[in-house]
Structure 1
């Protein structure tokens, strides 16, 4: 510390400066608004409350004072990594009432995998042939 600074500090008045008084009152108001909100409001919201009371203060000053006081608003919720929300969808039923096939409609590519295999007819079908039980009109 320089000698000039030491003597300046020594000559200072015993009572606090206006800036120190204002800062102490500001700390009191910030604590008041923080406790009134249930320890949830952050510096932007508290700044709005102070502005409503007529204080001329910035968001950065309020956040700096809140950090010095050790108070912090609630943390924002963590972002999900995927769009699927766990536990919010009903589970799909595996089997239908008969128990032989899946009751959930599969994607078109997988549709053939879930159907029971059909027995191929031994001879090829004729396009003009009539199926048994049906008559042409």
Structure 2
């Protein structure tokens, strides 16, 4: 077991190195990059320790926040919610009595970064596709 004074001395030395790295990076390095920088300088230190020291000395990077990823068409409470007419009764007696639809968005790898959507209309009597089309926009 390390003595308390020995741990405090080591913490102070490591904190000085961390402050130097953070100042050099102008506050853009998080604890992971600071840990890698310390490893490249030959200082063996655990990333959890670096995180703890950075929290204690208010050195954490706050210039970047986690960005939201992907596409979201949610615009809040717009319009009204349709009534549940099927009420989980998915059996139909005639061909055009009950239709369901599904829209799936996807990208074609290697071609472009455009988002495509494929739409199906299916009759519930036999499960046949009535309509099927692909759009390059979601409208």
In which range does the TM-score fall when normalised by the shorter chain?
A: 0.3 to 0.5
> Which structure shows the higher helix fraction?
1
Structure 1 or 2, whichever has the larger Rg, is: 1
> Which structure shows the higher strand fraction?
2
TM-score (norm 2): 0.44
